């Protein structure tokens, strides 16, 4: 089984970057499943139906998310029981006010199937339920012999590493998202679990994690609110290709990061 995973696809530059390279990636790696983290898909502010449909047309199998999942009100219509979109499984869900959506999905292609779990870290982020307990609970629901990919959406590298080691030998892959900065630590953990701390952002590389630098710099210098805008310069792709053997153990994880040429982004317009 071959899995192609894109983390943090940011706005129209990210979607167009995927569109520009998906044909070549398919031809080179022949992925069985294509997965994307889409919490920044609609202009960096959550996901809506139109932007999700763009990725559906490109053949994506499923979508993970993170702390920005609720930024666009349309998401409540997109988290149905048959949706390809999942949200962090450890999002607080108090009695009487259950959290919409689900934190795991199982996708099929022919005789192949893959379980995908999404959890969110708690260090430097809003407090949620324990992601380690959430993963352990969901793993009990996965059918036997089904490979599992876990998207650990977290800020602290230590927390991501801890999740990787917690799941070493229990799942096929643990891929990190949220930081938007690709790390160079891809490896196979003991027991055949592919791991990388952060896959990085797909979107405008000449930016501060997807936003034009000027407004972000002013916020850092003044410590006061300043308007920010989505960037479009130097679009590129960050992704990983994970190869599993017949037992669901990872044989390799390849990290990719490259720029693409997109003519229509230079013409301005809405970057959502």
Task: Please list the active-site residues.
Answer: 68
Helix (H, G, I), strand (E, B) or coil at 52: helix
Centroid of chain to Cα 13: 16
Q: How far is residue 179's CA from residue 16's CA, in Å, rounded to a whole number?
A: 21
- 37 in Cβ contact with 55 (< 8 Å): no
CA distance linking residue 200 with residue 179, whole number of Å: 7
Whole-angstrom distance, CA of residue 169 vs CA of residue 179: 25
Burial of 271 by CB count in 10 Å (0-12 exposed, 13-18 middle, 19+ buried)? buried
Tokens of 163: 């999740």
H helices of the chain, in order, are 11-29, 49-57, 131-139, 157-166, 213-222
By CB atoms closer than 10 A (0-12, 13-18, 19+), residue 187 is exposed
């Amino acid at each position: 089984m071959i899995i192609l995973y894109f983390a943090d696809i940011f706005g129209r530059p990210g979607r167009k970057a995927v569109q520009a390279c998906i044909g070549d990636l398919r031809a080179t790696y022949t992925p069985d499943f294509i997965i994307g983290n889409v919490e920044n898909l609609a202009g960096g502010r959550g996901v809506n139906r139109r932007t999700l449909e763009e990725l559906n047309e490109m053949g994506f199998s499923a979508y993970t998310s993170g702390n920005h999942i609720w930024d666009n009100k349309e998401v409540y219509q997109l988290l149905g029981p048959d949706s390809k979109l999942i949200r962090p499984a450890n999002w607080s869900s108090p009695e009487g006010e259950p959290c919409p959506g689900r934190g795991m999905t199982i996708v099929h292609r022919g005789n192949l199937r893959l379980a995908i779990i999404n959890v969110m870290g708690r260090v430097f982020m809003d407090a949620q339920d324990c992601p380690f307990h959430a993963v352990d609970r969901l793993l009990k629901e996965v059918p036997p012999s089904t490979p599992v990919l876990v998207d650990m959406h977290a800020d602290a590298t230590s927390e991501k590493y801890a999740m990787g080691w917690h799941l070493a030998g229990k799942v096929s892959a643990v891929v990190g998202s949220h930081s938007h900065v690709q790390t160079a630590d891809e490896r196979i953990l003991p027991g055949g679990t592919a791991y990388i701390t952060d896959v990085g952002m797909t979107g405008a590389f000449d930016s501060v994690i997807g936003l034009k630098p000027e407004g972000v710099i002013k916020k850092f210098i003044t410590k006061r609110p300043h308007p920010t805008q989505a960037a479009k310069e130097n679009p590129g792709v960050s992704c990983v290709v994970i190869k599993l053997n017949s037992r669901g153990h990872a044989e390799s994880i390849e990290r990719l990061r490259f720029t693409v040429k997109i003519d229509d982004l230079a013409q301005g317009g809405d970057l959502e």
